[in-house]
Amino acid sequence: MNLDIIAQLVKILKDAPELGAIEVRRGLFGAWSSVRVSKAGVFTNAGGAGGHVVVAQAPASGAAPAGGVAGAPQTGGGGGAGAPAAVAPSHLVEIKSPMVGTFYSAPEPGAELYAKAGSRVAAGQVVCIIEAMKIMNEIESEVAGVVREVLVENAQPVEFGQPLFRVDPHA
């Protein structure tokens, strides 16, 4: 992938505060390459100094879906767990999904949950897995505290930016 194209993607990301990431996948004769450009803290589990940009280029591989550009955050759609998403009380911190995928609350079926309502989590502790493109991504808490709400059910599809947990950092 041309570095000028990546530089243009970085500029687009910096100029558009509503974008959290841009991902491009390209394929030619069965060899696929991808580039992900994201604001710090969006696709990484690091605490976020906003405005910094992370560029990661994946090596070419033989199997990936047809490509395009993705990255505009999905709005609305809190998922199929019943009532529409309510506004979080101001003292609770939301842990949001950094990607589109399937939410899993435990490392495998029948195993103990990573986090549930009432459990204490530490910053950097894995709270769930989101499966995206057959890759299991461990999602870490960015804050220490007590989980007050789990907002999605196991094996439920989630959207980019969708709140997954509400944590009370003062408890």
pLDDT, residue 42, reads 47
Burial 131-164 (b: 16+ CB within 10 A, else e): eeeeeebebbbbbebbbbbbbbeeebbbbbbbbb
Mean per-residue pLDDT of the chain: 73
Query: Is pTM, for the whole model, over 0.85?
Result: no
The span from the CA of 93 to the CA of 80, in Å, is 22
Instruction: Retrieve residue 50's tokens.
Output: 């906003």
| Res 80 pLDDT > 60 | no
- Using CB atoms within 10 Å of the CB of residue 99, give its burial: 0 to 12 exposed, 13 to 18 middle, 19+ buried: buried
Higher pLDDT, 159 or 16: 159
Tell me the domain boundaries of the chain.
Answer: 3-70, 93-168
Question: What's 93-168's CATH class?
Answer: mainly beta
| Res 119 pLDDT > 80 | yes
